[in-house]
Structure 1
Amino acid sequence: MTFRGRVEHRDSRSALLAAACIRGGRQPDLLSDAGWWQTPVGQYAVVALVIYSRAAAERVAVPVEDIARWIAARRGLELTA
């Protein structure tokens, strides 16, 4: 995903902040904030997941793949190659 303008940068920042809010126990109002975005909010959520996964892997000194497996296991998902 390439961010080309102010709106896309703002939307990606909002997705990152929403993820941090949820982790902190808050519920961001995504329907009113993201409901009018041109790019589906799910795409920005994936970008946020990748960024936070890389940060977590670096923090605990494990490969990103281990973080991905851990997240998938918590959600009852199975990752394949």
Structure 2
Amino acid sequence: MHGGLEPDLLDEVTYWIEQYWTYALYAAVAIVRASADRADMPLDSMLAELAAKHGIDIA
């Protein structure tokens, strides 16, 4: 860069990026559970509907 400094953010966020998928999975689980609760549906029924909607066979 102009002053001789180079921004090196990769070293500062590497620890967080490595666990990003874990945080995304926790968020997805929380959203599905909250959705099932709000719809007053059993969790397994909510998951079966979600899988069927996306063409996934979970049987």
What TM-score does the superposition give when structure 1 sets the normalisation length?
0.46
Secondary structure at the counterpart of residue 18 of structure 2: coil
Q: Which runs of 5+ in 1 are unaligned?
A: 1-34
What TM-score does the superposition give when structure 2 sets the normalisation length?
0.60
What is the aligned length? 45
CA RMSD of aligned residues (A): 1.9
| Percentage of identical aligned residues | 27
Which letter maps to 2:47? Answer: A
Q: Cα offset for 1:60?
A: 1.2
Query: RCO greater where, 1 or 2, for CA within 8 Å and sep 6 or more?
Result: 1
User: Quick one: which of 18, 30, 46 aligns to 1:38?
Assistant: 18
**Cα-to-partner distance string for 1:7-65 (whole Å, 9 max, x where unaligned):** xxxxxxxxxxxxxxxxxxxxxxxxxxxx94021x3332221221011111111111011
